[in-house]
Structure 1
């Protein structure tokens, strides 16, 4: 039996006491007012990450994917999707075949395709050369060869055949996400009605709200959809982060990194989806037009930024762990500090800096 003491962040409260672990599972939470000031949170669950530590998910390299996952694990992310950007179908297919064994092994929780079925008007840092309308034959093939590894796909709902694609994804166990979209409010709600359940990095890569045409942002916030929020204080002002999180609530908000391979690396020149990216003072931008190109964020920093923006610690932890775990269908196994769940946890100092990470009860 392993015992870890401090302020334990449960789904309902912060409990000062001891967290008892029995092998890979949480055995019990024992209150004790004399326990220390460390903050114990569940392992983070990142639904949207393109890489980190100098390694990328976007090229379909299993070796790079394993190294990127290991980098983020050291920052407390115990469960993650490998996100690709818009790519030729051949690369999408080869990435599924390369990453499927990593999913089976538990290194990755699945694959997220952010594109290529996106709006050219709102493509952001997505390579416009690879954008195209949804292809049912491509989608069906990816899901088939993935054997459960494909877990999420971002689609712009206003594109031809997009609603059919969303319905097919939802009907085959794949999270359909709405993002990089110029959709109207009504087109957004049509996407939700077709089966979409996620908003890819709310606000970013979307038509801005207007009081006479609310567009996708208000359409998504006013639905039952779960909204990704990039809490790097660059993609979203802290006030906007807090506003969106309070509007949707912690059960419909998730913190994501949208990190690229430059995360944890020096400033300099990098590549994303065939386009050159310049990173300066932690901000990644396309070299040719200055568009923000992913982030250099880790989930521990996202949690600190969310709390600094005024969100309660319990809510911020739900957004970083519990809500995304539930969205992936893993809520009965992980994502919260509850007896019987897997002992994925991060021990933080009082200022919320990680001091240790455990996955399945094993310390890194």
Structure 2
């Protein structure tokens, strides 16, 4: 067998979730790190995926860690372990999220994470904090919060060496709207989150260039009939992509359904907001400078008891979306793959099963929707040996 033969893989008999719809019993071929073709008759030696469904690799815009490791540690080995944990659960494109800390320390973390972006492990950096509201800080240390002065925001952006993808901030704070404008001018996503903003100020932030709602509904005022607040402003504006955490803890399923009914799958990005306990068991874990206890899979601060991120992985979010929320396969793929890929400007290479795009594939059981296998850039990460080959006729 030649090297070229080893770099070719074909999957036959699978249900494929394509941009135009779901195709049963089809074939997908891979050469090197790319999808080489879709369709055609199976051939001897193809992997037989009858009974399985293939979707694109998941894209996570907002994740703090996993596998017992945190991106906010500032340690490359920990960041690699977190990325690998989520990769094994189907997340083939990851944006690493930091948490509130001293500005110089977060800048140091960004420098470490930038090296992993340059190595192709991560797809960018998301700064969540310290430019957020004291009233809605959640699992962020209140004494380390700062107003979003454009000079300080720019310091973190510059520390990321061109790899900052998103900054979450509270636009009602001094400097908030100016920072949104600056980020928009730099081509960096300005996200409204951990905010006490009202409806009008949120609209100002959107007009200034904010395009993402950080974990919508969480860490922001609830909807009131005379004071709609940021949720309504973010949901109703077509320029905004809303993050949702579908773990059964952060949002009631009916609230998720409400968001989909208002925004549609092409404006929803399902995220994990996972901390270090993702892929692990109950216990004590660090989240930046804070301590988190995970009990029955729910992460809460040791002091105060606030929900502190999640232990979610995107394969679980995918399964919940189609089994609990009854989304179609195409809707689930839109929110887990295509929408975040478009938001990141990466839709020409990831986010859908199309010829010429990276061979980032997730294989699930067609009945249970449990994860079976993951491929990234044409190489099996897990489960590739689970399939028999098509026999000669």
Superposed displacement of residue 35, structure 1: 6.8
In 1, distance between residues paired with 2:41 and 2:169?
48
Question: Does the 8 Å contact 1:238/1:306 carry over to 2?
Answer: no
Match among 34, 54, 58 for residue 68 of structure 2: 54
Question: Does the 8 Å contact 2:56/2:360 carry over to 1?
Answer: yes
Q: Deviations over 1:159-182 (max 9, x none)?
A: 111001011111112111000111
Superposed displacement of residue 270, structure 1: 1.6
2:371 aligned residue: 354
Superposed displacement of residue 313, structure 1: 1.2
Q: Deviations over 1:15-60 (max 9, x none)?
A: 1201111221112210669972201010000000010010111122
TM-score (norm 1): 0.97
Superposed displacement of residue 138, structure 1: 2.1
In 1, distance between residues paired with 2:229 and 2:100?
23
Question: Does the 8 Å contact 2:131/2:148 carry over to 1?
Answer: yes
Matched, 1:3 2:18: no
Q: Deviations over 1:278-330 (max 9, x none)?
A: 11100011122211100000000011111121211110111001110110010
SS at the partner of 2:174?
coil
Moved more, 267-276 or 53-62: 267-276
2:348 aligned residue: 332
Residues 205-284 of structure 1 mapped to structure 2, 5 A cutoff: 205-223=219-237, 224-284=239-299
Unaligned runs of 5+ in 1: none
Matched, 1:317 2:327: no
In 1, distance between residues paired with 2:285 and 2:34?
40
Q: Deviations over 1:69-106 (max 9, x none)?
A: 01110001000111011111011110111111100111
Matched, 1:345 2:352: no
Moved over 3 A (4+): 31-35
Q: What is the CA RMSD across the aligned residues, in angstroms?
A: 1.4
- Tell me how many residue pairs correspond in the alignment: 364
In 2, distance between residues paired with 1:124 and 1:95?
21
Matched, 1:13 2:16: no
1:189 aligned residue: 203
Moved more, 320-329 or 24-33: 24-33
Question: Does the 8 Å contact 1:242/1:306 carry over to 2?
Answer: no
In 2, distance between residues paired with 1:302 and 1:333?
23
Question: Does the 8 Å contact 1:58/1:85 carry over to 2?
Answer: yes
Question: Does the 8 Å contact 2:17/2:54 carry over to 1?
Answer: yes
Q: Deviations over 1:179-211 (max 9, x none)?
A: 011111111111111111110000000100011
1:123 aligned residue: 137
Match among 306, 331, 334 for residue 291 of structure 1: 306
Superposed displacement of residue 143, structure 1: 2.3
Match among 157, 171, 179 for residue 143 of structure 1: 157
Question: Does the 8 Å contact 1:15/1:31 carry over to 2?
Answer: no
Matched, 1:154 2:174: no
In 2, distance between residues paired with 1:64 and 1:128?
25
